[in-house]
Amino acid sequence: MDSLKPVVSRRKFVEIFGAVSAMGATSMFVSGCGSTSSGSATDTITFGQGADPRGLDPAYVDDGESAKIMCNIYETLLCYDKSSCDIKPCLAKEYKISDDGLTYTLTLEQGVKFHDGTDFNAAAVKKSIERQLEPNRNDDMPYASFVFGTASKGDGVKTVEATDDHTVTITLAAASTPFLKNLAMVLASPIVSPTALDKNNGNLNEAPCGTGPYSFVSWSKGQNVVLKANDSYWNSDKKAKTKNVIFKFISENASRVTALNNGECDIIDGIDDTVVDTIKNAGNSLFDEDGMNINYMAYNTTSSIFSDVNARRAFSKAVDVATLVKSLYGDYASAATSVMPLWMAPYDKDVAQVAYDADAAKKELAALNITQVKCITYSNPRPYNTKGGQVLAEAIQGMLDKVGVKVNIDTYDWTTYKTKVQTEAYDICFYGWTGDNGDPDNFMNLLADSNVSMNVARYDNSAYKALIAEGLATPEGDARNDIYLQCEKMVADQAVWLPISHSKDLAGYNPKVKDFVIHPTGVVWLWGATKSA
């Protein structure tokens, strides 16, 4: 259970005690000119993000913008530690797993109430989960099958029973080590008010109601979501310290930076290295920590060129990943040496990808008679690639040009791209992954998946698949780590992917704000945050 705990506590918290009075004066001046801005009120923290949430019902959404808001409204049975993906009790104060790994018995906290006054109990848990189990599950629940499994695949949750008012028994169809981590996810797993579900036709997208430290006030589409402190919150450790929290939606990166420097926002995310100086020069601070993601290029292992492992290795040799990452992402992404970021899987330190060697690449590619490569990529910035796939593809195009290979790039908007990776006959493509739950299976399984939309390399190796199946059922510990290390080494040796970078989670913030937490899963916990005058 604690095998994943990083050697050193990885994540630092924002604890900066600025020169309160001086900063206050500056901000009075700035926001005074810009008129009454909520940035100047100490009982309100404004968080600027790039887009509206898709919705605020954990069963119906799949995006980070929703998760960031929902994690302050809802709670899960178990939750992540502040700085890692280690599991801690939350709405369930204890849990017990049977020896066969199939039965989970959870003892619930008592005296907890939902924001609408409904009691939190085993029946509420049962209802929250059962609506996402087959046959209740509907096609619009993007994470239900990931978290709770699918009967046809023989995995996931078989039954949820309320043993008594405060005990829940969950029975799995097959042992699954990541299940515990799934229960802490902000997507699908949070426990929602059963009364609210009845009242809102089973969909809380616009009327979220949970047990969390903040309760929902309003959502003005395209503008903001307003939350207020939950006065009757049960857990004194996580009681909200600031009265109002506002999530403001500003799509343009540059505008979000302006909003921060203008005092219209206290914290902004979704920024890249080019605005760091602008943020710092305005007296604001920067938060950066390694994120749980991988930005990669995939070889189509079924294409005529790259079904040959030597061709893949030769191509990889032509790409100077370190220089590429440095110039594209500056200090705000680290060059990837393995699929999983090292903080998440420290055992990956022994993994090495094909080394950069342009001369060798040129010879080998010429010998293999490779002169043209068809590449598809996406245009939009993604969390794991703030510059967008097009810029990345163009950079690699430039490097391959030097070794005599012409890369033909077709760029698509993300929507179209997701279809194209399934239908187009490409040789290489660009993709990425943001971890859901901190479990290695969540990353390494991508290369074993039968869905080409996830396994864009179309890697189909029975030895690899056997390792993945074994890892799924092995309890956490050295044996399990060893399995995933073997997976990593296979991916590197066979050059299935060219791992490029792990991007950092970046946020700009006003130094008057302290103690907010950006978790490795990408969510933002604001209950501990305070703002000085």
Partner 1 sequence: MASADIAQKRPAVPSSPEPSTPPESGPKAAEKPESLFLEFWYSLKGNKAAMVSLVVIGILVLIAILTAIVPGILPYDPYAQDLSASFQPPSAAHWFGTDQQGRDIFSRILIGTQVSLSVGLLAVAISLAVGVTLGAIAGYKGGAIDTVIMRIMDMMLAIPSILLAIAFMAALGKGVDKAVIAIGLVSIPEYARIVRSQILSVKENDYVAAARVIGDSDAKIIFRHVLPNVLPSIIVRATLGISGAILDAAALGFLGLGVQPPQAEWGDMLGRGRNYIFSAPYTMIFPGLAITITVLAFNLLGDGIRDAVDPKSRRR
Partner 2 sequence: MSKYIVKRIAQSLLVLLGVSIIVFLIMRVFSPDPAPVVLGEHATEDSMKAWRDANGLNDPIPVQYWTFLTGALRGDLGTSYYTHSTVASEIASRFPATIELALVAIIIASAAGIALGVVSAVHKGTAIDATSMVLALVGVSMPIFWLGILLIILFAGMWHILPSGGRVDPLLQPTGGSGLYIIDTLFSGNFAALGNVLQHLILPALALSMYSMAIITRMTRSSMLDTLNEDYVRTARAKGLREKKVTKHHALRNAMLPVTTVIGLQLGSLLGGAVLTETVFAWPGIGKFTVECILKSDFPVVQGVVLLIGVIFVVINLVVDIIYAYLDPRIKYSKEEA
Site of interaction with partner 1 (CB under 8 A): 252-254, 257-258, 272, 274-275, 277-278, 323-324, 327-328, 379-380, 387, 390-391, 393-395, 397-398, 409-413, 415-416
CA angle 307, 308, 314 (to 5 degrees): 125
Q: Are 180 and 87 in contact (CB under 8 A)?
A: yes
Q: Considering the complex, what minimum distance in angstroms separates the CB of residue 206 from partner 2?
A: 6
**224 binds partner 2, rule: CB under 8 A:** yes
Q: Are 483 and 344 in contact (CB under 8 A)?
A: no
Q: Considering the complex, what minimum distance in angstroms separates the CB of residue 414 from partner 1?
A: 10
Q: Considering the complex, what minimum distance in angstroms separates the CB of residue 22 from partner 2?
A: 18
Nearer to partner 2, 412 or 484 (CB): 412
DSSP codes of every residue in 431-470: EEEE-SSS-HHHHHGGGT-S-TTT-TT----HHHHHHHHH
Terminal Cα-to-Cα distance of the chain (whole angstroms): 42
Helix/strand/coil (H, E, C) string of 192-237?
CCHHHHHHCCCCCCCCCCCCCCEEEEEEECCCEEEEEECCCCCCHH
φ/ψ of 383, rounded to 5, equals: -55, -35
Give the number of other Cβ atoms within 10 Å of residue 249's Cβ: 19
Contacting range for partner 2; rule: CB under 8 A; set: 57-65, 96-104, 123-131, 366-374: 57-65
Q: Quick one: tokens of 312?
A: 């893949």
Helix/strand/coil (H, E, C) string of 2-48?
CCCCCCCCCCCCCCCCCCHHHHHHHHHHHHHHCCCCHHHCCCEEEEE
Q: Quick one: tokens of 479?
A: 């044996």
Q: Are 224 and 202 in contact (CB under 8 A)?
A: no
Nearer to partner 1, 149 or 388 (CB): 388
**145 binds partner 2, rule: CB under 8 A:** yes
Q: Are 274 and 495 in contact (CB under 8 A)?
A: no
φ/ψ of 380, rounded to 5, equals: -75, 155
Q: Considering the complex, what minimum distance in angstroms separates the CB of residue 385 from partner 1?
A: 13
**302 binds partner 2, rule: CB under 8 A:** no
Chosen from partner 1, partner 2, none, partner binding at 94 (C-beta under 5 to 8 Å by type): none
Nearer to partner 2, 38 or 128 (CB): 38
Nearer to partner 1, 261 or 521 (CB): 261
- Of 393, 392, 431, which Cα lies nearest the Cα of 410? 393
Give the number of other Cβ atoms within 10 Å of residue 25's Cβ: 11
User: 246, 472, 495, 500: which one contacts partner 2 (CB under 8 A)?
Assistant: 246
Q: Binding to partner 2 (CB under 8 A): which residues in 189-218?
A: 203, 205-206, 218
User: 8, 17, 35, 135: which one contacts partner 2 (CB under 8 A)?
Assistant: 35
Q: Considering the complex, what minimum distance in angstroms separates the CB of residue 477 from partner 2?
A: 27
**155 binds partner 2, rule: CB under 8 A:** no
Q: Binding to partner 2 (CB under 8 A): which residues in 74-103?
A: none
Q: Considering the complex, what minimum distance in angstroms separates the CB of residue 415 from partner 2?
A: 5
Nearer to partner 2, 451 or 462 (CB): 451
Q: Are 432 and 297 in contact (CB under 8 A)?
A: no
Q: Considering the complex, what minimum distance in angstroms separates the CB of residue 39 from partner 2?
A: 9
Q: Considering the complex, what minimum distance in angstroms separates the CB of residue 506 from partner 1?
A: 14
Q: Considering the complex, what minimum distance in angstroms separates the CB of residue 379 from partner 1?
A: 5
DSSP codes of every residue in 85-136: S-EEESSEEEEEE-TTS-EEEEEEPSS-B-TTSPBP-HHHHHHHHHTTSTTT
Chosen from partner 1, partner 2, none, partner binding at 146 (C-beta under 5 to 8 Å by type): partner 2
Interacting residues with partner 2 (CB under 8 A)? 30, 33-38, 41, 44, 46, 54-55, 60, 62-63, 138-140, 142-143, 145-146, 203, 205-206, 218, 220-224, 226, 244, 246, 248-252, 254-255, 258-259, 261-262, 264, 413-416, 418-419, 422, 433-434, 451, 453-454
